[in-house]
Structure formats: structure tokens, C-alpha cells
Amino acid sequence: MRCVAAALLLFSATALPALADGVPLDLYIGGRVVTKVHEDTSWHIFSQPDNETAYTYQWPGVYFTARFLGDSVDVKVDDDQDNLYLFIDGVHKLTLTRPGRTTVSLKDLGDGRHVVRLEKSSETQSSTGTFDGFYVPSSGDVLPAPVYGRRIEFIGDSYTVGYGNQSRGQVCTVDDVRDTTDTSAAFAPAVAKSFNAAYRILADSGHGIVRNYGGMDPGNTMPVLYNYTLFDKSVPADDAGWTPDVVVIGLGTNDFSTALDSTDFNRNEKWATRDALRADFVATYAAFVNSIRAKYPDAHIILMASTGYDGEILSAVTAVSDTLKAAGLANFELLPFGGLDWMACDGHPSLKDEKILTRLLVDRISLLPKFAPVPMAGTPAAGAPAASGGAPSGQ
């Protein structure tokens, strides 16, 4: 993992005192957050100026981006559990490793327009972090937030999170997993960025459709957690204004990857047989996809399924697909994947595998009309996936 000090030396960005009387930038927020205006300080252990806004997050891959004029910007965070990446104009400037409550000032960026971006790269299942905004010296430095013409939602488990994908092998400690999980390097952000698309990642390691890994945490499966902004289920999801063009769902591994009544957790699970588990999985997954279709009637839905585990996962997801087709559901498809080396922590996809999964999805999504390459006038119909209407405006 990249350390803060190395990034400081390499990019000449410094953790300096905050800009005096800073003005907040308009944000594009990628992911679910709890937004709260600091009208008083009673809700938070740290004081915060009145009327400043804080954004509390927990889902992986949350990001914040904004545009500004001038050569400096302050970044205010309050997060002692996550690793956060800071980008200026698409270039990685800093890694903030569990920084706590701090303000980082990026200076000497050069005159003109800039885009600043903060990404959550790690996974935290039992804690939250808070972003307190980007600030510039004056209101004249504020530009409108980016606007994206394409949107992709990713729903999944540890594969989508990027669990341990920066590791050098499969054997990892708990700390290794924490330090080498990098959602920013996972396939979901890579796919979205190849199309200059906005994205949301709603994924949680160890969770499945009806059964979590080894039978742990029964009842808190992904179709349940999906309805909330925070994992303690204290804040219902508010997806107003978010309408994805594509929804990619990758679930099923945790349902089938361990034996029932696993000795790891000894849960006395409710399914007497694998056939009973499969039947529950197929019915619940089909209902979940139908709920996504009702929520996003025009989205193209892709169901990803691993060919591993003796084909049990792919067989079950294929049954889901067949059930949906028989019921008349359109504009969705099944996308199997395999050929991975699984050399990351605990047999998860490695960085090499992330590239394979990225290419698989990019190739498929590129076939959708809104994501198809659009050639420049007078050139052949070939080129990069980014098309007009897909890039953030003004960048």
C-alpha cells in the first residue's frame, strides 16, 4: 500500500494548516451517505463550525469529487479506520491511512481549472467515516460539481469490494486483509472509469442472497443490507436522484462456498439440504432482481456468476436467470466468469484477476447503445469506450 509520506515527497502535496475562511466546493457524491448540517456540535465528538455539512459513509468505494479554480484546496476528513485516496486531475496525490480528524491542504497545483477527488479504498463493516468537504480560498474559485451522463451500480460481496486484492498471496492475517483491500483497484471502479461513468458500490464481504459465509450473521444478507445507508440499519437508503443505466450484481459465492452447519460457525442453519438452500436462493434472488427492476425500470441488469465451486454457483444463478426469463423479465443477462488465479487473500481475485473481470464487463457493457464507442467525425467506428455525454461536464 502507498504511504502518506511517500506520496507527500513524490507529489509535493503537504498537510498544512487549513485555508483561512475557506469556501466549500459543490460536490458530486458517488455512493450512499448520511448528510448532516452542523447546526450544533452535540451530535459529534468534535466541534465543527455552524452550518458546515458532513457526509458519513460506510459502504465501500464511496467517493467525492468537485471542480475549482486556483492552485490550492483543503480536504477535511474525520476517519480513523479507512484508507482514503486523494486525486487531483486524475493523478493520485496522497494516501491518507486511517487519518482521523484532519485537514489536508494541497497547494502549488498551478493556476486554472482542477478536479479534486477523494475515494474510500478500504472496507469497514463495523465503523463509519466522515467527509467534511473540500474548501477553497474564495467563492470565485468555486466551479459547478461534475455531471455524469452514464451511471453504473454494482451490488456484490467481497469480490466486488476488492477483498485483499493488493496482497502478495492467499495467506493473510486480519490486519493483512484490512491493509490490502483496495476497492479503488477493484473491477467495479475500473469498469465505470473506463466509461467516465458515475458509480455506486453496494457490496459487503461475506454476505450472500440468503446465506452469508459459513452461516454467519443470519438474516443480514445483501437483499436486507441493500435497503440501508448504514450497516446497523439505522438509516434507510435514500437513492433519490440516482438512476443507473446498468446494474451489475455479483452474488452467490457466500451462499454456496461452505458446507451447511459449517464447523467454523456452527449456526444450526435452517436448510436441511443443499437442494433446499438452492431453492431458497433461486426464489429470493429472483425476487431481489425483480425489486431492482421495479426500482430502475430502464436499467440493463447483469448477473455475474463464478464458474468455480464445481459449477454450483453458476448452476444456481442460471436457474435464477431462467426463472426471470420465464416470468417475462427483459433487459437482463447472465455473465459467467472464470479463468482467474485467485491469488489474493483467502483465495480472492488478485489484481491480475481484477483486470480480467474489468475487461469482461467493459466488453459486454460497450455493446449497450449508451456505452458504445462514438467515433469522431471522419474516423472509423472504433476507439475508447468514453462517449459524448459520459464524461463529467467541464473536465
Q: Which grid coordinates belong to 118?
A: 477523494
- Which residue in the block uniquely carries the three cell numbers 459502504? 59
Q: Is 346 left (phi over 0), alpha (psi -120 to 50) or beta?
A: left
Q: 155: closest CA among 256, 278, 280, 303?
A: 303
Q: Which grid coordinates belong to 70?
A: 486556483
The C-alpha atoms of residue 95 and residue 84 are separated, in whole angstroms, by 6
**Phi and psi angles of residue 65, each rounded to the nearest 5 degrees, phi first:** -140, 150
DSSP 224-240: HHTTBSSTTS-SB---T
311 Cβ neighbours under 8 A, 6+ residues apart: none
Question: Do the beta carbons of residue 115 and residue 65 sit within 8 Å?
Answer: yes
The C-alpha atoms of residue 129 and residue 349 are separated, in whole angstroms, by 26
Q: Which grid coordinates belong to 114?
A: 482542477
> Active-site residue among 72, 158, 194, 306?
158
E strands, the chain, in order: 23-24, 28-30, 34-37, 53-57, 63-69, 73-79, 83-88, 91-97, 100-106, 113-120, 129-136, 151-156, 198-203, 246-250, 300-306, 332-337
Is 158 assigned a catalytic role? yes
Using DSSP bridges, classify how beta strands 100-106 and 73-79 pair: parallel, antiparallel or unpaired: antiparallel
Q: Which grid coordinates belong to 55?
A: 457526509
Q: Which residues are catalytic?
A: 158
